[in-house]
Amino acid sequence: MLKRLILPAALLLAAGGALAQQPATQPSQPAGSTEAQQKPTKEQQEFRDRMAKNAQGVAETVDKGDVGAVWDQASDLMKQAVSRDAFISAVQAERTKAGKMESRKLVRMYRINSKGDQKLPAGSYVNVLFATKFSNEQQAVPELVSYHFDKDNVVRLSGYTLPQPAASKSASKTQ
C-alpha cells in the first residue's frame, strides 16, 4: 500500500521537473477548515494552478510511455520506497490493463498531513485527482498524482497510480 501511495507522487515530480521543484507556497489552512473553504488567496490559487498543471504533465508523460522520466524526477521519499524498475513495471501494468487514455478531467486537489502512524511516511502531501477515461474501462476511473513537501519546503512528486480495473477487483474479492 505504501508503494501505491508513494507512486502517485513520484510520477508527478518527474514529468514537471521545474514546476514540481519549486519552493512551496502552501495553503496555510487545513483542507477541512472553514477558512479553507472560503475563496482562496491569490497565492493559494497560483499554487493550485501550478500543481494541477504539473500533475497534468506527469499524467501526459505516462500517456507517452515515458514512465522512467517520471521516476527520475521523483522525491527521494519515493525513490527509497520503490526502485525505478519496479515503478516502471507497476505503472506500465496498470496502464496496459486500463488501455489508451481517451479523456482526463481534474476532479479534486487535496492535502494530507501524515503523522507517520499509518502506512504513509510522516509529512505533508498534495494529491491531484483526475477522472480519466481509458479505452478498456467502461467509465472514467480515478488517476492520482501525489506530491510531498520535502524538508527543504520544495514540492516533489511522490507517486502515481490507477485503481485496479473492475474485473481484477471482483476476481480478488472472490479469492
Looking at the domain assignment, is residue 114 inside a domain? yes
Distance CA 166, CA 163 (A): 9
Mean pLDDT for the chain overall: 79
Q: In this predicted structure, what is the pLDDT of residue 36?
A: 47
Cα 86 to Cα 47, 66, 79, 91, 130: the distances in Å are 31, 14, 10, 9, 23
- Domain for residue 151, yes or no? yes
Query: What are the Cα distances from residue 120, in Å, to 4, 11, 56, 112, 140?
Result: 10, 17, 23, 10, 26
Cβ atoms 64, 137 nearer than 8 A? no
Residue 104: CATH number of its domain:
3.10.450
Is there a domain that residue 67 lies in? Answer: yes
Mean pLDDT confidence for 151-170: 74
pLDDT tens-digit map of 15-61 = 333 333 334 444 444 444 444 467 889 999 999 999 999 999 999 99
Split into its structural domains, the chain has a count of 1
